Amino acid sequence: MDGVTKTALVTGANKGIGLAIAQGLGALGYTVAVGARNSARREEAVERLRASGVEAFGVALDVTSDDSVAAAAADLERTAGTLDVLVNNAGIGGRTDGGAQDPTTLDLDVVRTVLDTNVFGVVRVTNAMLPLLRQAESPRIVNVSSNMGSLALRTGPVMAAYAPSKSMLNSVTVQYARRFAETNVIVNACCPGYVATDFTGFASSRTADQGAAIAIRLATLPDDGPRGGFFDDEGVVAW
């Protein structure tokens, strides 16, 4: 990077893919704001990042709370003043017991809960951080989605709350990209692949670092990079 330190906020950065994205951006020279709702887990992640040589600090952030998100934006404005990168990584799968995500017995409370984190949370955080992002020279927003949200691929187990939440996240990403078309703000969605984290019960050989790579790539796109797309390691993911 050029001599000026850039700041990146990663939501849900206390573990899994989010922590790996924070680590990767930190290794590239970004100062990383670790957005996490649990203070002990947040500070533990900050310590881990610092121990590996990354400039990191914690930001209390529950993406489902308007108050928490507003306080996080105020906190970042005080400490950093500007934001170069926002990675909306925080996400949940939602309960599946008792047919909760079988479409024929779908628990609408589960749908609401999943949408509140995976979609409304992204909108909440993005809009709260926009004034800070607009201060940056080349702002980048990355929404961590999933190929389970691809209407074309129809991959993974039937999960009628989680998969549509990622379809909607993809659609919202496109709306933001259209809105930002004439600006320097670049927004894209990515799929990390099937990664060994708490989310999947570590039932994969793909590491969090491998899953983080595409988000890091999109967070560091040049000014003529793609906008409003959906990407994984292989390139474009079908909508």
Helix or strand run (H / E) with residue 71: helix 66-79
User: Is 166 among the catalytic positions?
Assistant: yes
* Residue 15 lies near ligand NAP (rule: CB under 6 A): yes
Element (H, E) at 112: helix 108-115
Report CA dihedral (160, 162, 163, 166) to the nearest 10 degrees.
140
Contact characters 107-126, ligand NAP, x per CB under 6 A: ----------x---------
Distance CA 73, CA 162 (A): 27
Q: Is 48 in the site for ligand NAP (CB under 6 A)?
A: no
Closer to ligand NAP by Cβ: residue 5 or 39: 39
Q: Does 63 bind ligand NAP (CB under 6 A)?
A: yes
The answer to whether residue 91 forms part of the interface with ligand NAP (CB under 6 A) is yes
Residues 170, 88: contact at Cβ < 8 Å?
A: no
In the block, tokens 């900050």 appear at 46
Total residues at the site for ligand NAP (CB under 6 A)?
A: 30
Task: Name the residue nearer to ligand NAP (CB basis): 188 or 197.
Answer: 197
Please answer whether residues 147 and 237 qualify as being in contact, where contact means their C-beta atoms are separated by less than 8 angstroms.
yes
Distance CA 229, CA 57 (A): 30
Task: Say which DSSP state 102 is in.
Answer: S
Left (φ > 0), alpha (ψ -120 to 50) or beta: where does 16 sit? left
- Taking only Cα atoms into account, the Rg of the chain, rounded to an integer number of angstroms, comes to 17
* From 30, 166, 176, 194, the catalytic residue: 166
Cα distance between residue 34 and residue 19, in whole Å: 8
Task: Pick from 102, 200, 202, 236 the residue near ligand NAP by CB under 6 A.
Answer: 200
* Phi, psi dihedral angles at 226 (to 5 degrees): -65, 155
Minimum CB separation from ligand NAP for residue 5, in Å? 24
Window contacting ligand NAP (CB under 6 A); options: 83-91, 107-115, 216-224, 225-233? 83-91
Name which position in 46, 90, 119, 133 contacts ligand NAP (CB under 6 A): 90
Binding mask 160-189 for ligand NAP (x = CB under 6 A): ------------------------------
Show the tokens assigned to 54.
């990354």
CB of 147 to ligand NAP, least distance (A): 7
Considering beta carbons, is residue 26 or 91 the nearer one to ligand NAP?
91
Q: Which residues are catalytic?
A: 162, 166
User: Which residues of this chain interact with ligand NAP, rule CB under 6 A?
Assistant: 11-12, 14-18, 36-38, 41, 61-64, 89-92, 117, 144, 146, 191-192, 194-195, 197-200
